[in-house]
């Protein structure tokens, strides 16, 4: 009998993330400094850790309700209203396995094969891959440094077709650190409405906004009824390993997402839900402290890049800088490969985040000032020797 392909055509089509390659090499290189990985260097604050551990000690080792613990959903609902003016009752919150699951649920709930998804790029790598896995079509919308990497109504409009179904908004942005102001979001609203798009708003870095004010499309009457908000505890509370996120959405989408979550996941990790409850009740001072520290590091990094003569948009949020390296005459891949090989410094080629990221590189500053200092010394040596 003729052998069938073991791997589905869609899974085979997905390329492995090029970010992984840098993690693997840097992990196996002695004395390597990695400003590659996108996660807080802080350990989860102690009182949050203890709440998670206490829940295990108290025997809370079972599933929770599919949708999440009622007390946690109440806190999430209160938090979203107090912090970002996003008003959804606790019954409209689903607790998920990281923001990642919430993104997956939203895309699976909304998309059919052939639907087009508008993805402003440079952008976090997962959206396009999941869209492709669903048989839908990612449509990059390039965003440029000249516009502070924000999405403009004109560029969005230019990519809309009859098949456009969903727009991804991911601000503060990984990898550029761009944000979208309320005015910028409102300028998109007529285009979104005209094309009848659903908006997936990934707000994982909302708490890490250093300049300007984070605005959620779900807080705007013009966009609320078409917005699925995705967020989580990974970045703001330094809880990446706990795997806890959440989503709020208009009821029809929420119910479809809940069906998928019930079958695919059952419930988010129970100890992590207890830890997240403590994070929301008593963890805001920790968030403020970590944010102040990230801001110091951002300022140090951007000042140093400037001193080295490297152009860089000053990121307003998240914990990444996205310097322009075109003047060195190497591709993003060549620059980062050689920097890693010659100076043992890992940063990520900008094209990993979409084609329009070519000519840039992502530097994550969720690292100690000492490490960032050492890294900048190595970068200086590297460009001197080019
Ligand atoms: C923009 C963005 N969204 C979502 C995620 C996934 O976060 P989580 O750990 O909550 O799954 C990341 C992680 O790097 C991210 O950068």
Pocket flag, ligand 1, residue 283 (CB < 6 Å): no
Pocket flag, ligand 1, residue 201 (CB < 6 Å): no
Read off the pLDDT of each residue in 344-368 and give the average, rounded to a whole number: 97
Assign 22 a pLDDT band (cuts: 50, 70, 90). confident
For the chain, the helix, strand and coil percentages under 3-state DSSP, each to the nearest 5? 50, 15, 40
- Residue-wise pLDDT for 214-225, tens only, equals 999 999 999 999
Give the model's pLDDT for residue 110.
98
Res 2 pLDDT > 90: no
Assign 28 a pLDDT band (cuts: 50, 70, 90). confident
Q: Specify the ligand 1 atom closest to the Cα of 123.
A: 1
> b/e map of 206-227 (b: 16 or more CB within 10 Å)?
bbbbbeeebbbbbbbeebbebb
Q: Which of 38, 99, 121, 177 most suits a substitution to test ligand 1, by most atoms within 8 Å of the C-beta? A: 99
Pocket flag, ligand 1, residue 204 (CB < 6 Å): yes
Distance 103 CA to ligand 1 centre (A): 9
Looking up tokens 């009740």, which residue turns up? 281
* Cβ-contact 132, 107 below 8 angstroms: no
Res 127 pLDDT > 80: yes
Residue-range domain boundaries for the chain: 9-44+285-385, 50-282
Pocket flag, ligand 1, residue 247 (CB < 6 Å): no
Give the model's pLDDT for residue 29.
86
Pocket flag, ligand 1, residue 44 (CB < 6 Å): no
Give the model's pLDDT for residue 157.
98
Q: Specify the ligand 1 atom closest to the Cα of 240.
A: 9
**Paired sense of beta strands 164-170 and 116-121, if any:** parallel
Q: Is 344 helix (H, G, I), strand (E, B) or coil?
A: coil
- Percentage of residues of the chain with pLDDT beyond 70: 100
Assign 16 a pLDDT band (cuts: 50, 70, 90). confident
Read off the pLDDT of each residue in 371-376 and give the average, rounded to a whole number: 98
- Cα separation, 142 vs 326, in Å, equals 17
Task: Compute how many other C-beta atoms are within 10 angstroms of the C-beta atom of residue 158.
Answer: 9
Pocket flag, ligand 1, residue 245 (CB < 6 Å): yes
Least confident of 6-15, 237-246, 290-299, 308-317: 6-15
Higher local confidence (pLDDT), 1 or 251: 251
Pocket flag, ligand 1, residue 96 (CB < 6 Å): no
Average pLDDT value over all residues in the chain: 96
The CATH code of the domain at 50-282 is: 3.40.640.10
Res 18 pLDDT > 80: no
Residue with CA at minimum distance from ligand 1 atom 14: 38
Pocket flag, ligand 1, residue 174 (CB < 6 Å): yes
What's the distance, CA 85 to chain centroid? 21
- Please give the torsion angle defined by the CA atoms of residues 319, 322, 323 and 329, in that order, rounded to the nearest 10 degrees: 140
Pocket flag, ligand 1, residue 234 (CB < 6 Å): yes
Looking up tokens 């390329």, which residue turns up? 15
- Cα separation, 116 vs 160, in Å, equals 9
Contacts for 303 with CB less than 8 Å, ≥ 6 apart: none
Distance 383 CA to ligand 1 centre (A): 31
Pocket flag, ligand 1, residue 99 (CB < 6 Å): yes
Distance 98 CA to ligand 1 centre (A): 7
pTM, full prediction = 0.96
Pocket flag, ligand 1, residue 34 (CB < 6 Å): no
- Cα separation, 377 vs 371, in Å, equals 10
Tokens of 249: 């959405």
Q: Which of 23, 105, 124 most suits a substitution to test ligand 1, by most atoms within 8 Å of the C-beta? A: 124
Quick one: angle between helices 332-343 and 369-385, nearest 10? 110
Pocket flag, ligand 1, residue 350 (CB < 6 Å): no
- Residue-wise pLDDT for 66-81, tens only, equals 999 999 999 999 999 9
167 has which bridge partners?
118, 199
Res 1 pLDDT > 90: no
Read off the pLDDT of each residue in 194-206 and give the average, rounded to a whole number: 98
Distance 229 CA to ligand 1 centre (A): 13
- Residue-wise pLDDT for 253-266, tens only, equals 999 999 999 999 99
Query: Of 210, 380, 381, whose CA–CA distance to 307 is shortest?
Result: 380
Quick one: angle between helices 98-110 and 251-264, nearest 10? 120
The CATH code of the domain at 9-44+285-385 is: 3.90.1150.10
- Cα separation, 164 vs 114, in Å, equals 9
- Cα separation, 186 vs 327, in Å, equals 35
Please, where are the H alpha helices in the chain? 9-13, 18-27, 46-57, 70-84, 98-110, 126-133, 153-158, 182-194, 251-264, 270-282, 284-307, 332-343, 369-385
């Amino acid at each position: 009998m003729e052998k069938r392909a073991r791997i589905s055509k869609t899974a085979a089509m997905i390329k492995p993330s090029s970010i992984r390659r840098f993690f693997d090499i840097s992990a196996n290189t002695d004395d390597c400094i990695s400003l590659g990985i996108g996660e807080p260097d802080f350990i989860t604050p102690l009182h949050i850790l203890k709440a998670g551990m206490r829940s295990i000690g108290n025997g809370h080792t079972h599933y929770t309700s599919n949708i999440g613990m009622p007390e946690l959903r109440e806190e999430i609902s209160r938090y979203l209203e107090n912090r970002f003016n996003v008003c959804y009752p606790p019954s409209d919150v689903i607790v998920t396995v990281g923001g990642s699951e919430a993104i997956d649920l939203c895309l699976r709930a909304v998309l059919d094969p052939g639907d087009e998804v508008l993805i402003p790029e440079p952008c976090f790598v997962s959206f396009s891959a999941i869209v492709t896995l669903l048989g839908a079509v990612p449509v990059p919308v390039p965003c440029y440094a000249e516009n502070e990497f924000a999405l403009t109504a004109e560029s969005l409009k230019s990519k809309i077709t009859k098949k456009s179904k969903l727009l991804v908004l991911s601000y503060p942005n990984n990898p550029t650190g761009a944000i979208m102001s309320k005015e910028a979001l409102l300028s998109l609203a007529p285009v979104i409405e005209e094309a009848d798009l659903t908006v997936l708003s990934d707000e994982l870095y909302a708490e890490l906004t250093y300049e300007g004010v984070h605005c959620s499309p779900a807080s705007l009457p013009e966009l609320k009824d078409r917005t699925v908000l995705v967020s989580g505890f990974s970045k703001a509370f330094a809880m990446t390993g706990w795997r806890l996120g959440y989503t709020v959405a208009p009821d029809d989408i929420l119910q479809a997402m809940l069906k998928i979550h019930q079958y695919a996941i059952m419930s988010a990790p129970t100890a992590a839900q207890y830890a997240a409850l403590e994070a929301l009740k008593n963890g805001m001072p920790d968030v403020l402290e970590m944010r102040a520290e990230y801001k110091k590091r951002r300022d140090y990094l951007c000042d140093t890049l400037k001193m080295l003569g490297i152009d860089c948009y000053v990121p307003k949020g998240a914990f990444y800088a996205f310097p322009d390296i075109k003047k060195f005459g190497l591709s993003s891949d060549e620059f980062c490969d050689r920097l890693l090989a010659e100076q043992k410094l890992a940063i990520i080629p900008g094209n990993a985040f979409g084609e329009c990221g070519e000519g840039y590189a992502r530097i994550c500053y969720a690292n100690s000032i000492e490490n960032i200092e050492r890294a900048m010394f190595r970068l200086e040596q590297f460009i001197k020797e080019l």
